[in-house]
Structure formats: C-alpha cells, structure tokens
Structure 1
Amino acid sequence: MRLRHIEVFHAIMRTGSLSKAAELLCVSQPAVSKVLAHAERSVGLTLFNRVHGRLQPTREAELLFSETQKLQTSLDSIRDLARNLALQPEGHLRIGCLPSLGLSLIPSTVEAFRAAYPRVSLKIQTRHTEELLNALLTRDLDLAVALNPPARPGIASVELGRTPVVCVGPRDDNPAAGPLALQTLVEGDWISIGNVDPLGELIGNALHALGLDGHVPTVEAQTWHVARALAARGIGYALLDELTAKSGAEAVTMRPIAPPLSVGVYALTRDGGMASRAGNAFVDVLRARFV
C-alpha cells in the first residue's frame, strides 16, 4: 500500500463512511472511492463490505489498521511539525552587517525578531561592505545588511528603507533653525569619510554635482565612527547617515542638510533568495523598522 492509500484507508476506518472521510481529507467522495478501489487492487484484498448501506471493515482491514497505526501517527506528527515550522520557524541564521548598523539598526531588530521567533538562534558578525559580499558568496553568511551596496554577480539585494544623511556636530552645538547648506559646511571645518565606501561615494558625488569637491576637509577619517567621535569633540562637522549618527556613545547634535541626501539600507542574499522561512522572517522584521 502507498502512503496515500494508507491515509484514505485510515480516514474511512476512523469516520465509517466515504463521505465523512472525504470531508476529513478535504477531497471529493469520488476521489476517496477511487483511491480505496486502487488500494484494494494493490493488496489483493477486500477491505470493506457494504452492509445495509454502511461500510463494514473486513477482518483483514482491522489487522491492517492495527499494523499501520504507528505509520499514520508518524505522518500526523510530520504534518504537525510542518505546520508549526510554518507558523514558528526554527533553526540558525548567520547575519552580517556594517559596524554602524550593528550598533543601531540590528539590536532593535534582533530584539523584535527574538520575541516573535524564540526558537531561531542567531550569529551576528560585523564586517565592511566588500567583506559582507564575499562572505555571502562563500556561504559564510546567510544574510547581510549594508548601505547602498555595489552590484555584484551572484548577490541579490532588496532595499528595506532609506535613512537621511545628516550633519553631525558636538553636543553643546546650538545650530540655527533649518537645514545646513552643503556649501556652508565645506567652507568651514568639516570631516570627510573619503570615498572608499558607498556612503562616502554618495557624499562625494553630491559635492561634485554642486561644484564643491574642491574644498579640502579639515580631517579625512575614512571610518564613520572615527568621524563621529571627532565631530563630537568639536573638531569639525561630519556628514553621516542618521543610523550611524545615532549609534555612538558620545552625544552629538544632528542637523538636516540642503540639498537633502539619503542612503538606502539593503538586505543582501545569494542569488535565489533566502533558503529558510526564518531568514525571510528576519528580513520582514528589518523592513518593519522603516515603516
């Protein structure tokens, strides 16, 4: 007997009729009759007799029912497990992110994710953009989160949301109301992060478009957190994404800029998408941070 034969056979034994078995299995009565007939032919036995319009199991059917009960119980357990996994994924996820996101976006995301999916364990790694892309390709990571990542063969990306670029200064700064013009920024003491990463490249392109790329920065830090720490001490003003600006230990003042700039936050996977419901669930929780 095949598994489908056993499933239909058990449904008939439990309900006592073809119509109720069909309701239990969510199929039509003719479909149940067809499977039952095929099962009887395959084993060469009559499993049910009709007595006064009702199905009466034969002695052979009762013996088969007893013997296949364990198998049916196992099948029911498999269905329950599949249903529970759909509702409550479990497993292990390896997630990589930029250092700044590891101090800002990721902690609140992990908190919300663990509350909803407590049976999924997580491994969080902080790496720079190129390292994240390489780790995905070598399958050292299941998922990565980065800002405006470059296109890379074999890597799929989806934008989760955007975060504005802001001007960061010391805590006791008392800026005038309204956005700070980029021209005003670069004509004073300002801290550059270079153009070796996507955010630095975005800022560099904006300054070039405005004809402001000839202004030499007071300090070129090339790392976001160093730029933020310098700005917090009043050495100059730095342009950073708002997530990074909010992630440091030292208090700073943040101010919008004109013209406005924003940078995309992306979830990165290998081509073909996530291989687990847990991974897709984590991406959903990440996306909700921007709603």
Structure 2
Amino acid sequence: MRLRHIEVFHAIMRTGSLSKAAELLCVSQPAVSKVLAHAERSAGLTLFNRVHGRLQPTREAELLFSETQKLQTNLDSIRDLARNLARQPEGHLRIGCLPSLGLSLIPPAIEAFRGAYPRVSLRIQTRHTEELLNALLTRDLDLAVALNPPARPGIASAELGRTPVVCVGPRDEAAGDAPMTLQAFVEGDWIGIGNADPLGEMIGNALEALGLDGHAPAVEAHTWHVARALAARGIGHALLDELTAKSGAEAVTVRPVTPPLSVGVFALWRDGGLTSQAGNAFVDVLRAHFA
C-alpha cells in the first residue's frame, strides 16, 4: 500500500463513511472511492463491507489500522513541521513548560520579559516533558522549560539553576518546617509520583542508593499537583520540587529533606541555537530568577 492509500484508509476508519472521509481530506467522494478500490486491489484484501448502506471494516482492516497508526502519526508530525516552517514567526515567542512551572516560575518571568519587550507576543503552553521535546522538534514551540529533561537528538539545553526537593505535608503538621530524613519519609505514609518522569526517576534513584527502595508508597499519583493536593489533606507526605510545592492553592507545610536532593531546571530549544533576540532574552530572564 502506498502512503496515499494509508491516508485515505485512515480517514475512512476514523469517520466511518466515504463522504466524511472525503470532507476530512478536502477531496471528492469519487476520488476517495477510487483510491480505496486501488488500495484493496494493491493489497489483495477486502477492507470494508457494505452493511445496510454503511461501511463495515473487515477484521483485516482492523489489524491493518492498528499497525499503521504509528505511521499516520508520523505523517501528521511531518505536516505540522512543514506548516510551522512556513510560518516563520517574527515578534512572537512560543514557550512550553511543565504544568507546575506554569504556576510558579513562568508568570514572574513573563512579567519581567514583557516589561523589557512589550512588542513581542507570547504563547504559553503547559505539557509534560516528552510532549515538550516533541513539540520542539516539530517547531510547534520555540523554547521549553522542564526539570532534568532526558537527552534527545536535535534538542539543545542549558541548566538555568537548581531547585531543592522538599517534603510536603499538611499545613497544621506539628513538626513545622523541621527537616525530614528520607528514611523517616519512607517509613511513614508517603505519596509516590512514579518513575515515568525525570523528577520521579531521580527520587527513585536516590531512595535506591540509600537502600530505601523496598518501602512502597501508600498512594501513587503520577501528577505532581495531585500528589501535592493529597499531601495537603494529610493522606501522606510527598517529595516534590520546591517550585511545585509552593505553587498550589491548598496550604501545605514544606520541609527540607536530608540528605538534601535537588533537581535542575533547564531551558530547551532545537539544535542550532535560539534564532531570535526575544528567545535569548527570555532565557536570560529565567536564568536571573535563579541567580
């Protein structure tokens, strides 16, 4: 099957009809029917049966759809890349960040930046780390900010500074802001954030290095702000970066941990350097926050 066959096939599978597939692809219905017929001949398969006037995918079509979804996703990314290349935005900076940084680090940075560059418009998006890296590669973002991001070909990074990892608990906690040892942390009720993201992986490695990885969390929340909200209600303690710990609505107690841990805050952009004065200026504003 050719790429055009796969594109039409996916459109039919997604919409359920030739007419809606034609509308999605901005072509005529006869053109879609012709490509579908050619695809079936080329593959030697019947992909759809007509049942009461509707297209019913065959078992072969369902298997083929499952196997070609990754290819279709890559094609969509290529289209996004081509569209963003054509835009060549000037006087406009597209910034992505983790949700927690969108509530803590980014607002004061934008305030300072807008004071110096009032004619540069900004678009702010919050995404998770992998989504930020993908958006940079497809040129949907000019700049991203994340915690300890993994290395990725085609992506350059610079550490802006570091933020401590802290223990978060309910506001009325009797211990106040006294340090929490990692051993005492895992021996009590604690809230894990998993190890699928860089912060969770770093915390997991630190516990393993101290021989404390045999203690299971009472609750695991893969969203940092959910972990913070649970800790605020006294369900358990959570280890989070200080920026996240201080950015939520619920009142919490934030305590240092021993031995101390910290996580790097990084600016990310495509290889080749930031091409605009505004992008470099925004990185300088972020770096000044940690200075």
Corresponding residue for residue 139 of structure 1:
139
Q: Percent identity?
A: 83
Q: Report the Cα distance in structure 1 between the residues aligned to 2:233 and 2:179, rounded to whole angstroms.
A: 21
Corresponding residue for residue 183 of structure 2:
183
Corresponding residue for residue 204 of structure 1:
204
After superposition, what is the alpha-carbon deviation per residue over 1:203-222, rounded to whole angstroms, capped at 9, x for unaligned? 00000000000101010011
After superposition, what is the alpha-carbon deviation per residue over 1:68-96, rounded to whole angstroms, capped at 9, x for unaligned? xxxxxxxxxxxxxxxxxxxxxx7100000
Superposition TM-score, scaled by structure 2 size:
0.68
Aligned pairs for 1:108-257 within 5 A? 108-175=108-175, 178-257=178-257
CA pair 176-247 structure 1, distance change in 2 beyond 3 A: closer
Q: Report the Cα distance in structure 1 between the residues aligned to 2:175 and 2:121, rounded to whole angstroms.
A: 44
The answer to whether residue 272 in structure 2 is matched with residue 267 in structure 1 is no
Tell me, which stretches of 5 or more residues in structure 1 are unaligned?
1-89
Does structure 1 conserve the Cα–Cα contact (< 8 Å) formed by 2:176 and 2:253? no
Q: Report the Cα distance in structure 2 between the residues aligned to 1:103 and 1:149, rounded to whole angstroms.
A: 19
Q: Report the Cα distance in structure 2 between the residues aligned to 1:202 and 1:123, rounded to whole angstroms.
A: 30
After superposition, what is the alpha-carbon deviation per residue over 1:231-253, rounded to whole angstroms, capped at 9, x for unaligned? 00000000000000011000100
Q: Report the Cα distance in structure 1 between the residues aligned to 2:216 and 2:98, rounded to whole angstroms.
A: 27
Q: Report the Cα distance in structure 1 between the residues aligned to 2:274 and 2:177, rounded to whole angstroms.
A: 45
Does structure 1 conserve the Cα–Cα contact (< 8 Å) formed by 2:92 and 2:121? yes
Query: Partner amino acid for 1:290?
Result: F
After superposition, what is the alpha-carbon deviation per residue over 1:242-278, rounded to whole angstroms, capped at 9, x for unaligned? 0000110001000000110000000000001101000
Q: Report the Cα distance in structure 1 between the residues aligned to 2:140 and 2:150, rounded to whole angstroms.
A: 19
CA apart distance, 1:176: 5.7
Query: Partner amino acid for 1:258?
Result: T
Which consecutive aligned stretches of 4+ in structure 1 deviate over 2 angstroms post-superposition?
Answer: none
CA apart distance, 1:178: 3.8
Q: Report the Cα distance in structure 2 between the residues aligned to 1:116 and 1:166, rounded to whole angstroms.
A: 33
Corresponding residue for residue 107 of structure 2:
107
Q: Report the Cα distance in structure 1 between the residues aligned to 2:186 and 2:278, rounded to whole angstroms.
A: 45
Does structure 1 conserve the Cα–Cα contact (< 8 Å) formed by 2:177 and 2:256? no
Superposition TM-score, scaled by structure 1 size:
0.68
After superposition, what is the alpha-carbon deviation per residue over 1:106-135, rounded to whole angstroms, capped at 9, x for unaligned? 001000110111011000000000000000
Tell me, which stretches of 5 or more residues in structure 2 are unaligned?
1-89
CA apart distance, 1:175: 1.2
Q: Report the Cα distance in structure 1 between the residues aligned to 2:155 and 2:177, rounded to whole angstroms.
A: 42
CA apart distance, 1:174: 2.3
Larger Rg: 1
CA pair 236-102 structure 1, distance change in 2 beyond 3 A: same
Corresponding residue for residue 26 of structure 1:
none
How big is the alpha-carbon RMSD for the aligned residues of Structure 1 and Structure 2? Answer: 0.9
Q: Aligned to 1:113, what secondary structure does the other structure show? A: helix
Does structure 1 conserve the Cα–Cα contact (< 8 Å) formed by 2:101 and 2:243? yes
